[in-house]
Structure 1
Amino acid sequence: MIQDKQLVLRPATHRPIAVIGVLLIGTLVALLGGCAAMHGSADVYQRGEAAYYARSFDGRRTASGERFDSNRLTAAHRRLAFGTRVEVTNENNGRRVVVTINDRGPYTRGRIIDLSRRAAEKIGMIRSGVAPVTLRVLD
């Protein structure tokens, strides 16, 4: 005599394809949410060390052709276009300044930007001479 076997259906607890699908959807939602949060705000462009021009550069021509003035909020950068406005944040104290790129440099290894004296004063780096900074391109 053959007995009927009862078929029991149990939900699968581990379905690899379903798990991967949920992870992909979650990742997509997180990425889209992050993009929406960043829209309209400046992204970190570069981190590194900043220094500032000596007063002896006052009156000399910059690479953009204008005369250097240590009392203006200007800076030198190797690649950014002349006229680009950059927010520079001193990582040691959180102070910020917006400068306009009007020269090329710095040419000292490890440095990413040279600031005018006035810009260096605004972020509190005159005594140290150099400071770790974060650059954000504004336009």
Structure 2
Amino acid sequence: MRYHSPNKSTAEGDQPFSVKLDYDRTKLFVNEAIAATATVANQVDSSAPMVMLNLPVPAGFTVETGDFARLLDNGQIEKYQITPRAIIVYLRNLEPELPLTLRYQLTATMPVDIVVPPAVVYEYYDADKKATSSATRLFVEMKEEPDSI
């Protein structure tokens, strides 16, 4: 029997990379922002060249692009590309035992109750060397306006 299990757990030490994606909260109102923190690490003894990090953009959210421009300017990332569904981050090199932490803001643009797909990290030239984070559920609602009399 064969089936797909996207969050199948494996021992973290067995994977060449690890990635964790956290949000500062999971419930918010439309037009409010949440802070996302992605932490990626190389778990092998040698440097990993050309590492790609795909960070999900939840439906109903926009990305604060200035956060990634600052990461580029200070040399933490090599390049980034924002698509409607993901932020693709290019890392020239990921050293072992030196986790990279990226912080950025997402703004809710509409009410949603959504499961955000996991973040994925992989080596550009060997996509079999990869890791995924866990999925997260986000809930955005409209702020009720007080009745005017």
Same fold (TM over 0.5): no
Task: Compute the TM-score of the two structures, normalised by the length of structure 2.
Answer: 0.20
Q: By percentage of residues, which structure has more strand?
A: 2
Structure index of larger Rg: 1
- Normalized per residue, which structure has more helix? 1
